[in-house]
Amino acid sequence: MRTYMPKTGEIQRDWMVVDASDQVLGRLASQVARLLRGKHKATFTPHLDVGDFVVVVNAERIKLTGRKLEDKKYYRHSGYPGGLRMATAREMMEKHPERVIRAAVWGMLPKNRLGRRLLRKLKVYTGPEHPHQAQQPKQHTLAS
């Protein structure tokens, strides 16, 4: 038996739209990461990008369970001494809800060149509209 290895030209990338309304953040992020990696395809190869483009809409309507709105912290650093900044999940949801989803998905992707390439295929939008209608995206329902 020979192992099948997909060629660059053979990789079929679809566009998927995922509605984040009333979805739990971690469960949504794990399923979006699965779509980005291509684990739902028979041609999945761990070291290749065979996944689909994913458009997440309604990011402001995501849910966090428990006390995560107050307890969960997001850190960023300017690169200068004393440049560490911190925001709670509630502050991030008010100002930049798309960054909350992006950070959760990034936590579930490989931390290497492949993971950074996969993250570029993730498009997150605060409201229900997105500018990717020309790609004819398919609506993807998440498993509950």
**pLDDT higher than threshold 70 for residue 7:** yes
Q: Where are the domains of the chain?
A: 13-64+96-140
> Exposed/middle/buried for 108, CB within 10 Å: 0-12, 13-18, 19+?
middle
**pLDDT higher than threshold 90 for residue 134:** yes
Q: What's the pLDDT tens digit per position in 86-125?
A: 999 999 999 999 999 999 999 999 999 999 999 999 999 9
Q: What is the pLDDT of residue 135?
A: 95
Q: How far apart are CA 98 and CA 92, in angstroms?
A: 9
| 133-141 mean pLDDT | 95
What fold does the segment set 13-64+96-140 form as a domain?
Ribosomal Protein L13p; Chain: A; (3.90.1180)
Q: What is the pLDDT of residue 144?
A: 59
Q: What is the pLDDT of residue 143?
A: 74
Look up the pTM and report it: 0.93
| Residue count of the chain | 144
Q: What's the pLDDT tens digit per position in 24-72?
A: 999 999 999 999 999 999 999 999 999 999 999 999 999 999 999 999 9
Using alpha carbons only, give the angle 88, 54, 91 rounded to the nearest 5 degrees: 10
* Residue 124, C-beta contacts closer than 8 angstroms, at least 6 positions apart: 55, 56, 59, 98, 101, 102
Q: What is the pLDDT of residue 4?
A: 87
